């Protein structure tokens, strides 16, 4: 697949970049995508939820009424779940939601997601650029020149650039990652993928 390289003003530079078929034109595997996205979302969970159970509620252990003769059911403790303020039955406990996936499966999931984006023609390549200072206004101007200011956009850099990252951080519809941070969820969640020219080779190295 061949794409034209544009500059930050949205104009064609006359250069072309060839995207490897082994990454951007594979047979998509939907189940691999599902597992990789599931793992990504699971890893975002803190797992710090907690509810007090019967043994943890702060109540007296005194028997609250006679065992027999009251005309009601037996009750041994105010901590029982049937009473207001009692402990919760099988309440949530802190846990780790993360799980393991094989590297080959995760690689296949990323290739599949990129293939879907390539088929939809929502991948573009922009020449290498940098910002003199972290200014959100400058990044918004770049999005406007590329006609992407109203779309969810994922910028993929070849290497870390703090000025670009800081300039985009306050924008809800834009996200900037490096090639080694690229994940299936971000690719599918974005409407458009913008590959900075030096990131193409890095992605091919990581996924080949």
pLDDT of residue 200: 93
Q: What is the CATH number of domain 2-45+101-207?
A: 3.40.1370.10
Contacts of 125 (CB under 8 A, 6+ apart): 3, 4, 5, 6, 17, 194, 195, 196, 197, 200
Contacts of 144 (CB under 8 A, 6+ apart): none
The pLDDT tens digits for 104-155 are: 999 999 999 999 999 999 999 999 998 999 999 999 999 999 999 889 999 9
**Confidence band of 12 (pLDDT split at 50, 70, 90):** confident
Mean pLDDT calculated for residue range 35-54: 95
pLDDT of residue 208: 84
The pLDDT tens digits for 145-156 are: 999 988 999 999
The pLDDT tens digits for 76-97 are: 889 999 999 999 999 999 999 9
Instruction: Kindly tell me if the per-residue pLDDT of 179 is higher than 90.
Output: yes
Name the average pLDDT for the chain: 93
pLDDT of residue 191: 95
Model confidence, pTM: 0.83
Instruction: Give the Cβ contact number of residue 34 at 10 Å.
Output: 12
Residue ranges of the chain assigned to CATH 3.40.1370.10: 2-45+101-207
CA distance 188 to 175: 13
Alpha-carbon torsion (131, 135, 137, 143), positive or negative: positive
Closest C-alpha to 26, from 146, 116, 105? 116
């Amino acid at each position: 697949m061949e794409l034209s390289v544009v500059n930050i003003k949205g104009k064609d530079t006359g250069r072309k970049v060839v995207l490897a078929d082994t990454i951007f034109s594979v047979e998509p595997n939907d189940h691999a995508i599902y597992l990789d996205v599931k793992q990504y979302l699971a890893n975002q969970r803190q797992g710090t939820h907690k509810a007090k159970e019967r043994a943890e509620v702060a109540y007296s252990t005194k028997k609250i009424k006679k065992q027999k003769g009251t005309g009601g059911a037996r009750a041994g403790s105010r901590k029982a779940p049937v009473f207001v303020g009692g402990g919760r039955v099988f309440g949530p406990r802190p846990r780790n939601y993360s799980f393991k996936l094989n590297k080959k499966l995760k690689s296949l999931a990323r290739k599949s997601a990129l293939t879907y984006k390539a088929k939809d023609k929502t991948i573009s390549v922009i020449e290498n650029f940098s910002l003199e200072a972290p200014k959100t206004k400058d990044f918004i101007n770049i999005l406007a020149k590329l006609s992407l200011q109203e779309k969810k956009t994922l910028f993929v850099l070849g290497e870390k650039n703090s000025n670009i990252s800081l300039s985009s951080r306050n924008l809800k519809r834009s996200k900037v990652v490096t090639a080694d941070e690229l994940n299936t969820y971000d690719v599918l969640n974005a409407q458009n993928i913008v590959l900075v020219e030096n990131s193409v080779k890095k992605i091919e190295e990581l996924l080949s």
